[in-house]
């Protein structure tokens, strides 16, 4: 799954691409305070009263950074010329729990200590101390079922996001389809 999320909590733009078995689907979502606009794949734009998806989400830079603070004693940190590389490889359930809420992770039927193998890669800019890349891979295998989740987040343009404006063509098309 890949997407962009610009946070404002009353206005949002989300572009999401989901890959499943080599097939890709795409969705775009605008939240303009109390109205939402949705386009799934190649369909027409639809609009309706806003159910603020963004405000219900725990996926945020702050929550991910707080998760990192929870596990700071079990990760390794390497310093390079331009950034810090934070890494973890293993099956300590504390790593899973640190990022469970921000990414809405769940593994039913798996013993977290026995069935999960995790890889975590975080890159922090040395100059600004901002985290700019986050990758969390989880392999779950209980000999009956195998599941793999790959989570990637890229953080950029800190304090530079401008106003989120719904394009006029989206509003016009959604009005026709309403």
For residues 121 and 49, membership in a common domain is answered with: no
Domain hosting residue 8, numbered range:
2-53+160-177
For residues 90 and 6, membership in a common domain is answered with: no
Supply the pLDDT for residue 115: 87
For residues 74 and 100, membership in a common domain is answered with: yes
Supply the pLDDT for residue 118: 94
Residues 147-165 as b or e (16 or more Cβ within 10 Å = b): eeeebebebeeeeeeeeee
Q: Say if residues 88 and 50 touch (Cβ distance below 8 Å).
A: no
Supply the pLDDT for residue 145: 82
For residues 71 and 95, membership in a common domain is answered with: yes
For residues 18 and 74, membership in a common domain is answered with: no
For residues 45 and 17, membership in a common domain is answered with: yes
Supply the pLDDT for residue 51: 56
pTM above 0.75, yes or no: no
Number of separate domains in the chain: 2
Mean pLDDT by 10 residues, the chain (178 residues): 48 71 80 80 80 56 90 96 96 93 82 89 94 92 84 77 75 72
For residues 75 and 144, membership in a common domain is answered with: yes
Supply the pLDDT for residue 126: 94
For residues 80 and 138, membership in a common domain is answered with: yes
Supply the pLDDT for residue 19: 67
Supply the pLDDT for residue 17: 72
Q: Give the H/E segment covering residue 39.
A: strand 35-40
For residues 44 and 70, membership in a common domain is answered with: no
For residues 84 and 40, membership in a common domain is answered with: no
For residues 104 and 173, membership in a common domain is answered with: no
For residues 128 and 44, membership in a common domain is answered with: no
Burial of 68 (0-12, 13-18, 19+ CB in 10 A): buried
């Amino acid at each position: 799954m890949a997407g962009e999320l610009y946070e404002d909590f009353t206005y949002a733009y989300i572009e999401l691409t989901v890959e499943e078995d080599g097939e890709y689907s795409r969705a775009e979502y605008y939240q303009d305070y109390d109205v939402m606009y949705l386009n799934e794949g190649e369909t027409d734009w639809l609009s309706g009263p806003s159910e603020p998806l963004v405000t219900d989400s725990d996926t945020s830079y702050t929550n991910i950074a707080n998760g990192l603070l929870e596990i700071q004693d079990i990760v390794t940190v390497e310093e390079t010329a331009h950034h810090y590389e934070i890494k973890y490889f293993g099956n300590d359930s504390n790593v899973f729990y640190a990022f469970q809420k921000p990414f809405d992770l769940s593994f039913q039927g798996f013993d977290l200590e026995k069935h999960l193998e995790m890889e975590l890669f975080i890159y922090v800019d040395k100059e600004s101390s901002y985290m700019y890349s986050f990758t969390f891979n989880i392999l779950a295998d209980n000999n009956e079922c195998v599941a793999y989740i790959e989570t990637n987040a890229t953080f950029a343009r800190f304090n530079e996001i401008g106003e989120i404006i719904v394009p006029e063509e989206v509003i016009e098309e959604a009005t026709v389809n309403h």
